[in-house]
């Protein structure tokens, strides 16, 4: 994926793929924190939920955010694997939510946004082709 594709927005105030990448990383971090009981404030980036992207529209900046997504995924998977089966139905640090429900929820959340990323890729390709046609015509 190129930085241009990741940064493309379908409209004003609509999220781009890049923001969805960081959003997914952020919620994996939140799930990890709620699973392990770790304190708030250790997400490597400033801000929460949806962070504006790109700050720098470069390949290196995109790769850094993709690496962050990978790292948050790895850490969450490790924490999930470390929960004994018998403890899955105990509460997490999220009020009223068991560890099992937390993990089921964050997995579905990932897929929800994955569907949107696929849609954005297709939209960007189409809009780019239409723009080329307009320029050519």
Which of 56, 70, 118, 131 contacts another protein by CB under 8 A?
Answer: 118
C-alpha closest to that of 14 among 129, 109, 130, 120? 120
Q: Is 107 in the site for another protein (CB under 8 A)?
A: yes
Q: Is 44 in the site for another protein (CB under 8 A)?
A: no
Total residue length of the chain? 137
Q: How far is the CB of 95 from another protein (least distance, A)?
A: 6
Q: Is 14 in the site for another protein (CB under 8 A)?
A: yes
| Alpha carbon separation from 125 to 7, 45, 130, 131 (Å, rounded) | 13, 30, 9, 10
Binding to another protein by CB under 8 A, coded x per residue (else -) over 52-91, reads: -------------------------------------x--
C-alpha closest to that of 34 among 110, 82, 98? 98
Distance CA 38, CA 46 (A): 17
Positions in the binding site for another protein (CB under 8 A): 10-11, 14, 48-50, 89, 94-98, 100-101, 104-105, 107-109, 111-116, 118-120, 122-123, 125-127, 129-130
């Amino acid at each position: 994926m190129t930085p241009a594709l990741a940064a493309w927005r379908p409209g004003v105030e609509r999220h781009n793929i890049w923001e969805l990448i960081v959003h997914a990383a952020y919620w994996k971090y939140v799930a990890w924190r709620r699973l392990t009981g770790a304190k708030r404030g250790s997400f490597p980036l400033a801000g929460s939920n949806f962070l504006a992207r790109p700050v720098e529209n470069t390949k290196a900046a995109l790769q850094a955010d993709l690496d962050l997504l990978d790292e948050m995924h790895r850490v969450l998977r490790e924490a999930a694997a470390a929960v004994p089966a018998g403890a899955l139905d105990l509460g997490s640090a999220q009020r009223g939510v068991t560890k099992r429900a937390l993990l089921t929820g964050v997995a579905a959340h990932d897929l929800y946004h994955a569907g949107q990323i696929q849609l954005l890729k297709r939209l960007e390709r189409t809009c780019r082709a239409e723009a080329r046609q307009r320029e050519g015509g």
